[in-house]
Amino acid sequence: MQKKGFKFMWLMVTAMIVCFLTAGAISGKETKDDMCIPMGDIELKAPDSVESIRPSVRFPHSSHFDYSCKQCHHTWDGSEQVQGCMTSGCHDLDQAPKKVKGAKSDDDIQYYKNAYHAQCIGCHKNIKAKNKEIELSVSVMKPKLMKTGPTGCIQCHEE
């Protein structure tokens, strides 16, 4: 927790935080470190170096726990601390990279905004598309529509 403490200044967890020992601590290795899982809402903000255009985004972390942790924390090994998305070497570009001819400007996933948009909007849109298929299907035994999250700008970047 200690080495991660500063991170929570901008994470601004508004609800409970649940902590447990990581595998390292359980097996008595040197990494005696708790991992704390923010429950409830996490505020997702642009890095300090960015003058943001849009308001920050409320992310209800625990509404997403039907998914595997690794669905989002895709580099997590299951025993070490979960790293933030903008950790150095990950989605740590704070500006859109220069456009390469032929490539779409939202291709570069190292740019934090593209990473968030691809993951958050991508999944919500996928579910919407599947629901649309269900709605349009003529079958008698239609499965129930799935819950999904926002895909519109101001639904996420709320004032």
Binding residues vs ligand HEC (CB under 6 A) = 4, 7, 11, 35, 37-38, 42, 44-46, 50, 52-54, 56-61, 63-65, 67, 69, 71-73, 82, 84-86, 113, 116-117, 119-121, 123-124, 127, 147-153, 155-157
Which DSSP state fits 106? Answer: T
Q: Least distance (Å) from ligand HEC to the CB of residue 49?
A: 11
Amino acid symbol at 57: V
Give the Å distances, CA to CA, from 145 to 102, 117, 140, 141, 153: 37, 23, 14, 12, 23
C-beta of 126 vs 137, nearer to ligand HEC: 126
Q: How far does CA 140 lie from the centroid of its chain?
A: 36
- Three-state SS for 18-74 is EEEECHHHHCCCCCCCEEEEECCEEEECCCCCCCCCCCCEEEEHHHHCCCCHHHHCC
CA atoms within 13 Å, Cβ hemisphere of 98: 2
Q: Phi, psi at residue 128, to the nearest 5°? A: -60, -40
